[in-house]
Amino acid sequence: MNKIVKIVLAVLGLISAILWYQLPGQEVPPGEAAQSAAINGMFIITFILLAVAVVSSLLFTLVNLIAHPEKLKKSLTVIVAFLVVLAAAYFAATGTDIDLNEMANRGIPTTESTVKNIGTGLNLFFLLVIIAIVSMLYGGIKKMSNK
């Protein structure tokens, strides 16, 4: 299996090197350059490698979790805690923070649900930052008090 992976990676590397030398030069307008076959080929290779990396990491993670029930329990606890924080962030967002008519006048069509989703994302970010800071402080204080 290891030899097959190395061969596939070598072939993809060779194809990528060939595509690299076929990239359009600086004199080509960006609109034309973006539609070149070399760039499209490199994007396809990138997406294939990304898909392989995501699938393999998820697969190995799930196999590892199934093999160790204590890790599975801890992971599920963390996922549930994250969902609780996400729910808190969602219910804290109102969606009426801005004037939708003013946004429409500026050429940005926005709905109340879009504003609520953005508010949820911001609230989630701030809550996770607070949780991270509290966790670091707790760990630091606990470490200092043990010495």
Distance CA 103, CA 110 (A): 7
pLDDT of residue 12: 86
Nearest to 61 by CA among 53, 39, 47, 95: 53
Residues 113 and 88 in one domain: yes
Residues 122 and 61 in one domain: no
Give the three-class secondary structure for 25.
coil
Whether the model clears a pTM of 0.95, i.e. scores above it, the answer is no
Counted domains in the chain: 2
pLDDT of residue 86: 97
* Residue 120 phi, psi (nearest 5): -60, -45
pLDDT of residue 88: 96
Taking the mean position of all CA atoms in its chain, how far away is CA 110? 24
- pLDDT one-digit tens code per residue, 35-61: 788 888 888 888 988 998 899 899 999
* Domain end point (choices 21, 41, 67): 67
**Structure-derived torsion over alpha carbons of residues 93, 97, 102, 104, reported in degrees to the nearest 10:** 0
Long-range pairs for 4-10 at CB < 8 Å and ≥24 separation?
none
Domain assignment of residue 109, given as a range: 69-147
pLDDT of residue 75: 92
DSSP notation for 52-102: HHHHHHHHHHHHHHHH-HHHHHHHHHHHHHHHHHHHHHHHH--S-SS-HHH
Residues 77 and 134 in one domain: yes
Residues 63 and 1 in one domain: yes
Residues 109 and 129 in one domain: yes
Which residues in the chain land under pLDDT 50? none
Residues 60 and 100 in one domain: no
Indicate the residue type of 92: A
Residues 75 and 62 in one domain: no
Long-range pairs for 24-30 at CB < 8 Å and ≥24 separation?
none
